[in-house]
């Protein structure tokens, strides 16, 4: 209703100045989504191709292999899902003008994201304890590469989260809520990306073979 009482002929350019930075930021965020997606798609394709070489050793087939029990990854997935849902609730609360709920949901979202990263660190430590270091096998190398890149992007999101929190502590302005909505989109994007990585990294050799066949890649025997 406030827009009905505005007099743009008295304050020319005010409305445009408020919306323009958010629109530009939204364009940058969506462009970043495209770049990150392309990068991960290339790495995933490289992993599928590499899995068809005869020396590929899966991580999920035997009890001593680190992903035979995927429960730690399931637990981390729950943490990231909670973080994404809480951040969405913060956006909804901000649009409703409930500043206290915005701050509460935002803080809990950050805590859940940190729990996800700590859980990932625990999984990486488990890999090392079982002799599956970064350079031990091709499958382990791809696991560290993909999950490490995902974790790095989440760290960037947490840095932005840390800069967003003080601005929302005093009150949730329209522009602050709009920026928070973009942060929530980034979080949802990382959640979707993680679900794809989770499904890929815990797949069976038969699944890799089917994906390779779909991409036109044939198995290669190591002499």
In the chain, what are the domains?
Answer: 2-56+69-214 (1.20.120.80)
Q: Which whole number is the average pLDDT over 177-186?
A: 88
Give the pLDDT band of residue 174 (cuts 50, 70, 90).
confident
> pLDDT confidence of 49, banded at 50, 70, 90?
very high
Is pTM beyond 0.75 here? yes
Contacts by 20-27, CB closer than 8 A, 24 or more apart: 21/175, 22/175, 22/178, 22/179, 22/182, 25/179, 25/182, 26/182
Q: Given this model, what pLDDT does residue 177 score?
A: 80
Tens of pLDDT, residues 128-149: 999 999 988 999 999 999 999 9
- Average pLDDT of the chain, as a whole number: 86
Binned at pLDDT 50, 70 and 90, residue 121 comes out as: very high
| Residue 214: C-alpha distances to residues 47, 92, 133, 195 (Å) | 14, 41, 30, 20
Q: What are the phi and psi torsion angles at 151 (to 5°)?
A: -65, -35
Which residues contact residue 184 at a Cβ distance below 8 angstroms, ignoring those fewer than 6 apart?
A: 84, 87, 88, 90, 91
């Amino acid at each position: 209703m406030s827009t009905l009482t505005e007099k743009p002929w008295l304050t020319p350019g005010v409305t445009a100045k408020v919306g323009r930075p958010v629109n530009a930021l939204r364009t940058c965020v969506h462009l970043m989504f495209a770049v990150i997606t392309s990068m991960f798609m290339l790495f995933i394709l490289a992993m599928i191709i590499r899995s068809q070489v005869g020396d590929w050793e899966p991580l999920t087939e035997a009890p001593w292999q680190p992903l035979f029990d995927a429960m730690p990854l399931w637990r981390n997935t729950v943490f990231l899902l909670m973080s994404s849902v809480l951040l969405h609730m913060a956006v909804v609360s901000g649009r409703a003008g409930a500043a206290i709920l915005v701050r509460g949901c935002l803080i809990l979202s950050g805590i859940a994201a940190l729990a996800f990263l700590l859980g990932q660190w625990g999984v990486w430590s488990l890999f090392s304890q079982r002799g599956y270091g970064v350079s031990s096998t091709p499958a382990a190398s791809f696991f560290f590469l993909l999950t490490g890149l995902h974790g790095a992007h989440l760290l960037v999101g947490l840095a932005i989260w840390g800069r967003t929190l003080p601005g929302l502590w005093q009150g949730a302005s329209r522009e602050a809520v709009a920026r928070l909505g973009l942060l929530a989109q980034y979080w949802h994007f990382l959640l979707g990306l993680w679900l794809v990585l989770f499904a890929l990294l815990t797949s069976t050799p038969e699944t890799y073979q089917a994906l390779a066949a779909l991409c036109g890649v044939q198995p290669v025997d190591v002499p």
